[in-house]
Structure 1
Amino acid sequence: MSLLNIVPIIEEYSLMSGTSDKIKGRVKEAVGVLTDDKRLKKEGKLDQATGKIKKTVERVVDKAKNAVK
């Protein structure tokens, strides 16, 4: 499978941007801290990590697109 075949799959997966996930995670974590909800706090941290991963993938995809042009 070539890089050109993988890019559309990654773009489709990334419906929500990494930045949005990071913001959503920060809000969830803050609410979890304020309400002493450990589950919500953990979800927030997971969302933030997911956002960081998506942001990295977005950068890799952009570089791959630029390299193919």
Structure 2
Amino acid sequence: MAGKARVHELAKELGVTSKEVLARLSEQGEFVKSASSTVEAPVARRLRESFGGVKAPEKPPQKAAAKKS
């Protein structure tokens, strides 16, 4: 994600609560007020790394389309 990212968007992406993200950012020395605050791209990258990367959402396997005769 280029540019700025909102805290609540990062939380959703990482599968955690906004409060957890705010706490982790505070531990890293970043000043953010709320879940609607934005953080710069390098800060977002460090945050993702601290949570162990991005959790990919599980997609259900797609069923093959039935052929009509």
- Category of TM-score, reference length = shorter chain: under 0.3
In proportion to residue count, which structure has more strand? 2
TM-score relative to the length of structure 2? 0.27
In proportion to residue count, which structure has more helix? 1
